[in-house]
Amino acid sequence: MTLYRFAFDHLATRTDPERAHHVGFGAIRGARLPLRALDGLDRHRRSPAPVSALGLTFPHPLGLAAGFDKNAVGIDALAALGFGHVEIGTVTGEPQPGNPRPRLFRLPADRAIVNRMGFNNEGAEVVARRLAARARGRTPGTGPVLGVNIGKSKVVPEAEASRDYDKSARLLAPYADYLVVNVSSPNTPGLRDLQAVEKLEPLLRTVRTAADEATSGRTSPVPLLVKIAPDLSDDDVEAVADLALALGLDGVIATNTTIRRDGLRSDPALVEQAGAGGLSGPPVRDRALEVLCLLHDRAGDRLTLVAVGGITTPEDARARLDAGATLLQAYTAFVYEGPLWPRRLVRDLARTPGGVPA
């Protein structure tokens, strides 16, 4: 057991999860010492191979999933921990406070998290200004691959969702290495209804047009992906894959959090206390892998598949790569395992049979 895990299990679990997140994230952003020096395990270990995907070069497959850095305030600090790409957001067209607190809960027996944050963020205009300032202060091509995840503002009716996504895409696509349309969070009323193909198709066409117009000076379009829920039926997963291919999307992120609660080890009273929201971590692992397999069986290598949901160990990561994922993302394991975990996982993955694909 690592020192971080001991401290987390015996101390951090007594702290309000959202407060702990803000304190921990603040510490990461304020760190001055290179965290590689703190690890002491990098020497004489095999280095991961770069990964080519989405027309980009990733230093390795593992990235940080959306939800941790909603407002683009710690991109480079998070990359310093060992993430090869960082996906910010979810960012909405309008600023919003999110759902009432408490809205973030731990289930330690399952190493899981329940959240009903509700896309709390400062809005696309503020985030775009922050990304513009970051771009002015750096050499092009340096830093981690940056993903930007966009979603629907709560105050915007479902019938006007395309307008809201259009606004975010136009403001944020110029700073994104890739753009993600999130239609799968369970915490915004009506959002998951947009996963239905008849609603998803016009929405994705709108975002594609907006992103292309906002980045017309680029040599190639910004890659566009859609993030889906593990709770879709198998038929609906395959329909999304078919739609992504038909529209020429670049990839699919599988998967978001789940609304299911079956198979948990946690005390039912604790689960009931956590209440509604998206469940992440090991409990979603098996279904996330199933969805990944369905997508790959349907699309083969014509889509870049990004696997997320319950990835904790090198074996978890290897299973996703073997099932057809090109890239991996994590969030919950990072919370439970600590700031040295990303680098450790990538290093250990490079030592597993099959290594890290180039």
Q: Is 185 a catalytic residue?
A: yes
* 66 appears as a binding residue in the annotation: yes
Find the angle CA(212)-CA(218)-CA(224) to the nearest 5 degrees.
45
Q: Which of 153, 185, 266, 280 is catalytic?
A: 185
Q: Give CA separation, 99 vs 120, 189, 311, in Å.
A: 7, 11, 27
> Would the pTM of this model clear 0.85, i.e. be above it?
yes
Every domain of the chain and the residues it spans: 3-349
Pick the CATH number of 3-349 from 3.40.30.10, 3.20.20.70, 3.40.449.10, 3.50.50.60: 3.20.20.70
Residue 356 backbone phi and psi in degrees, to 5: -105, 125
Could you tell me the CA-to-CA distances from 284 to 2, 278, 345 in Å, in that order?
A: 24, 10, 19
Per-residue pLDDT of the chain in tens (358 residues, 90 and over written 9): 677 777 777 666 778 999 999 999 999 999 854 544 444 445 445 667 899 999 999 999 999 999 999 999 999 999 999 999 999 999 999 999 999 999 999 999 999 999 999 999 999 999 999 999 999 978 877 889 999 999 999 999 999 999 999 999 999 999 999 999 999 999 999 999 999 999 999 999 999 999 999 999 999 999 999 999 999 999 999 999 999 999 999 999 999 999 999 999 999 999 999 999 999 999 999 999 999 999 999 999 999 999 999 999 999 999 999 999 999 999 999 999 999 999 999 999 998 776 665 4
Annotated binding residue 118: yes
Establish whether 209 is an annotated binding residue: no
Angle formed by the axes of helices 161-172 and 124-136, nearest 10°: 10
